[in-house]
Structure 1
Amino acid sequence: MKFSVVALCMVVALAGEHAQAARWQPSPGHTQISIWPGTPPDDMPMPGPESSGIVQKNVGGRPWTYATNISVPTMTVYSPRRRNTGAAVLVLPGGGFEVLAIDLEGTEVCDWLTSRGITCVLLKYRVPSEPYDQKCDCRPDNLATSTRSLEDAQRTIGLMRLQARKLHIDPHEIGVLGFSAGGYLAAEISTRYKKRLYAPIDEADKQSARPDFAVLVYPGHLATGDKPGRLATGENGLNPNVPVTSDTPPTFLVQAENDNTDGVIQSLVYSAALRKAGAKVELHLYAEGGHAFGLRHTALPITDWPRLVEIWLHSIGMIQEK
């Protein structure tokens, strides 16, 4: 994965360009909950204190907020205010495993989901995460497991199932929705749910970590090559760290053909692997859209993708009136 949208975040480091604030906090009425009872597994020092900031380069006419140096991962629950379908979605913002686009691909997604009667759980997972480090030439193939973030995702889905009654959700209607690097994380949790990457801690880790469905928006890290026209020749293969099987949950993919950060080959390869394995998949490709547009609506047709997701969720039986 090239760094592009994430590179915009790194501009924050330039003196005087953007003001950094203290750590990100959700809107009033919502509380971040630590997902680990103690020190997270595979703990490592961060390059600085947790912080957030604003990237002034507009997306859909507005700037966006990032969070970084996250050593204490948290989940923030956003519940529907009126009707509740019982479905829930774990939202995984992107940011190249360096930062998290915490509003563009996080809170704004939760606003949409809750307006549709779906409980949203926003995961602020650990970043930066080795080996995805833009400060050095130590990510040669971009295919490595994002260990700490995957641990956080496995743990959170277990917590969601354990606390299903408290959260007013159906433990059999829990999905994941990830953007960019978060899309790769959604593929990882969709294919590597049988065994925790960490030693089990409590009852949450006895719950299944398998999502019931997955939505991947402009994902990265899924293809071993970047040759869109050569899918049929086998020159582009599937990242072996996402071992697709017939048990991989139903998956929705959306990407633009002019995505110069994570080429459209990412979705093409993953979709082909799902179909070959006999897993359910729906793929939507658009001529234009680029990368990192989130849910912000523009004149481009690709920004209507949330409506297509709603239709798809109905079609697979994951949105039902309760």
Structure 2
Amino acid sequence: MNNLVFTLIFALMATFAQAQVTTLPLWEGTPPLQNASDLKEEVVTQDIIRIANVQTPTIEVYLPSKQIATGQAVVIFPGGGYGILAYDKEGTDFAKWLNANGIAGIVVKYRLPISKSLTDPKEVPLMDAQRAIRLVRQNAAQWNIDPAKVGVLGFSAGGHLASTLSTQYKHEVERPKDAIDALSARPDFSILAYPVISFRDAAVHSGSRKNLIGENASQELMDRFSGELNVNPETPPTFLVHAQDDKGVPIENSLLYYTALHKNGVTASLHIYPTGGHGFGFGIGNGSVSTWRDVLLAWMGDL
């Protein structure tokens, strides 16, 4: 029955959303902080599509039909511990679902810090995330998007990237700039699903921390990439969802971030489900967590 429901959902998406799909590179030529090389992207398709060793970061843009478009857009960062991207389960599947609800979905194939072609790996995911937001705003009129309604959605390590963007959207490194860099990289809202937040020992997802900043990172680096320490009153409104029985990324990550948001007067909505584990995605057939997307849509409607 669950498979039948899932099939019907995507049939409805195809019928009503009539998504227009466009893929654009984030950067012209060799991306910043990357050496030209002959390294190849790796794509493995089994139960899900897993992408590794990204060399040409892109955005894959899914647009709803104009008849149902709300003007909102969500830039999506799939998870995978900064080692791979769960590209369909936490990316394109959600973009299609958003389209069925009149919302543009933009999936970011961002570079992963374990790639040997990168010159400063820890800076690259955030740089790609900033560029993705700016590209959406540059094309907002063409894509029927309100540039003041561009949010982010991140899963697991993608949630870490979304929270880092939400708190460090002004962070810059030395590199050539172009006209797109004049646009704001601040998300208008943030959706974090079972996110990695803290790189401190009590709540850390060690794989994400190791892949992004290394095994022997300084306390300064661990603090910089611990989202709960970088929240300020300008951090965008945030929706958090997590399962209490998550053994991969403890719920303390969402709790820490929510507490920091609350202390800084940032509008936030926290949803903890008793079961669901880690990486529940849509949550279909997984008990009460399967309703989290309905709660999210209501929250987005109130923004």
So what's the TM-score if we normalise by structure 2?
0.80
| Equivalent residue for 1:245, pick from 229, 232, 237 | 232
2:102 corresponds to: 117
Deviation of 1:277 after TM superposition, in Å, equals 1.1
Q: Indicate the structure with greater helix content.
A: 2
Match of residue 299, structure 2, among 309, 312, 321: 312
Amino acid of the structure 1 residue aligned with 2:284? H
> Could you tell me how far 1:227 is from its partner in structure 2?
6.2
**Who is 1:274 aligned against?**
261
Which stretch of structure 1 is more off in the superposition, 210-219 or 78-87? 78-87
* Cross-structure match for 1:218: 194
Instruction: Choose which of 280, 284, 293 in structure 2 pairs with 1:293.
Output: 280
What secondary structure is seen at the aligned counterpart in 2 of 1:188? helix
1:168-179 equivalences in 2 (<5 Å)? 168-179=144-155
Contact 1:162 1:203 in 2 (8 A): no
Q: Aligned match of 2:55 in 51, 71, 75?
A: 71
Mapped to 2, the partners of 1:178 and 1:195 lie a distance apart of: 19
Match of 1:104 among 89, 95, 105: 89
Give 1:160's aligned residue: 136
What is residue 41 of structure 1 aligned with on the other side? 32
After TM superposition, the score normalised by the length of structure 1 is 0.76
Moved segments of 4+, more than 6 Å: none
User: 1:215, 1:252 within 8 Å by CA — same for their partners in 2?
Assistant: yes
Which residue is 2:70 aligned to?
Answer: 85
Structure 1: tracts of 5 or more residues without a match: 1-27, 56-62, 132-144, 229-237, 317-322
Tell me whether 29-38 or 245-254 shows the greater mean CA deviation. 29-38
Measure, in 1, the Cα distance between the counterparts of 2:174 and 2:24.
20
CA contact (8 A) 1:46 1:69 kept: no
Distance in 2 (CA, whole Å) between partners of 1:73 and 1:227 is 30
**SS of the residue 1:167 aligns to:** coil
Separation (CA, whole Å) in 1 of partners of 2:171 and 2:203: 33
Cα distance change of structure 1 residues 87 and 282 upon mapping to structure 2, 3 Å threshold: same
Per-residue deviation, 1:161: 1.0
Paired with 1:250 and 1:185, the residues of 2 have a C-alpha distance of 16
* SS state at 1:30 partner: strand
Partner of 1:4: none
* Residue in structure 2 matching 1:192, options 145, 151, 168: 168
Unaligned runs of 5+ in 2: 1-18, 205-221
Structure 1 counterpart of 2:33, one-letter code:
D
Cα 1:38–1:130 change in 2 (3 A) is closer
For 1:260 and 1:74, locate their aligned partners in 2 and report how far apart those are by CA, in whole Å. 31
User: Which stretch of structure 1 is more off in the superposition, 204-213 or 159-168?
Assistant: 159-168
What percent of counterpart residues are identical? Answer: 39
How far residue 42 of structure 1 moved from its aligned partner, in angstroms, is 1.2
